[in-house]
Amino acid sequence: MIKIYLRSYFTGLAILFFALQFIIYYQSIGKVLKKSIKIYGFISSEKINLFKDSNFITILNNTYGIDTEYFQFFLRGIDYSDINKIDYIFASNKIFLDLYMHNDSIKYNKIEDIFYSPLVVYTRKFIIDAFVKQGFIYNYNNVNYINMEKLFEAILNDVKWADIGINELYGNIAIKFPDPRETDLGYLFAGLVANILNNGQVPDSNFIYKASPKIKKIFNQSGFLEKTPEVLFNNLIKTDFGLNPLMIGYENQILEFSVINHLDWKKIKDDIVILYPVPTLIGAHSFIALTKNGENMLNALRSQDLQLLSWRHHGFRPVGLSGLGQLNDFDVRGLPVDIKNVITLPATKTMHTIIEITGH
């Protein structure tokens, strides 16, 4: 009887112990869930992979108590009623603010640049030698730079690929870029074209009208304009080299690809070349907090853990690389420590004129 009693006693204690652990565990989960807040926002396409990253989601949930639901937006794709239902907008620069926030009915709490992405030109290795001979490309400190003024001059003069010794490509030299009506990247490139045609100076609308034939020609040579930078980039890495032999992109696209698709990157890394435009523009990823919840999301994105994740896994440069990340975090050659020769985007009114005269 005593043995049976002791056995029952210890069995009961064991059950009680595990029951208490079970209750404590689920109470702790309940506290986390109770603290979590649902935050809604619009993000630009190049940040989709970041927001899908399981590490990103876990840090947001467990460290900052944030559960965010996001929607991809295009420059022309948001109306004011949509904005009134969300907590934040995470664009690639302050373009969205200029385009939409002039409306008095729209208020925002705070705006801040979270990280940045330089504009780059992507090309294939077989083009490099011919471009170097033409003076389009030069190398400095193991970084390849492309002289955009000389490139545009060749486009405007109807220089063919074959004229510079690239017989693998048919037709005139052209550079592909996404639709400036739909994407931050295309919008920035349109501004870069105008600045370069104005000798690197910020143009006004009067200059744009005078230079309109040249601007139109550069745009028209590009052919069909894709709605997202991702379509162009996927064409670069997954299709024949003749489809997009020269294209505008963000630096983070290739860095992110080298991490997420490491095995695929090993197969093509010797064939893809990054060129840094001279002069250039930078996409500073601006976060617009529309509500208090939006501010909570902003503070989380500014944290060192999410800044480091955004850099190492997705290639978004922090405000300063020192202490947060280094260029050798990536298996990608030809990355500069600093981005130089940065020019200023034309005023919003001038940008509207560019879009208007090109018909895009």
Q: Which residues of the chain have pLDDT under 50?
A: 1-6, 9-10, 13, 16, 19, 22-34, 323
pTM for this entry: 0.85
Distance CA 289, CA 286 (A): 10
Distance CA 188, CA 196 (A): 12
Model pLDDT, residue 32: 43
* pLDDT digits 0-9 by tens, 291-336: 999 999 999 999 999 999 999 999 999 876 554 557 888 999 999 9
Amino acid at 339: I
Q: Which CATH superfamily is domain 118-282+336-358 in?
A: Periplasmic binding protein-like II (3.40.190.10)
Strand intervals (E) in 87-142: 88-90, 110-124, 137-140
Q: Name the pairing type of β-strands 282-289 and 88-90.
A: antiparallel
* Residue ranges of the chain that CATH labels 3.40.190.10: 33-115+284-329, 118-282+336-358
259-142-340-173 Cα dihedral, nearest 10 degrees: -80
* pLDDT digits 0-9 by tens, 101-131: 555 556 778 889 999 899 999 999 999 999 9
Distance CA 200, CA 208 (A): 13
Polymer length of the chain: 360
Model pLDDT, residue 240: 64
Q: Which CATH superfamily is domain 33-115+284-329 in?
A: Periplasmic binding protein-like II (3.40.190.10)
Structure tokens at 147: 């002289």
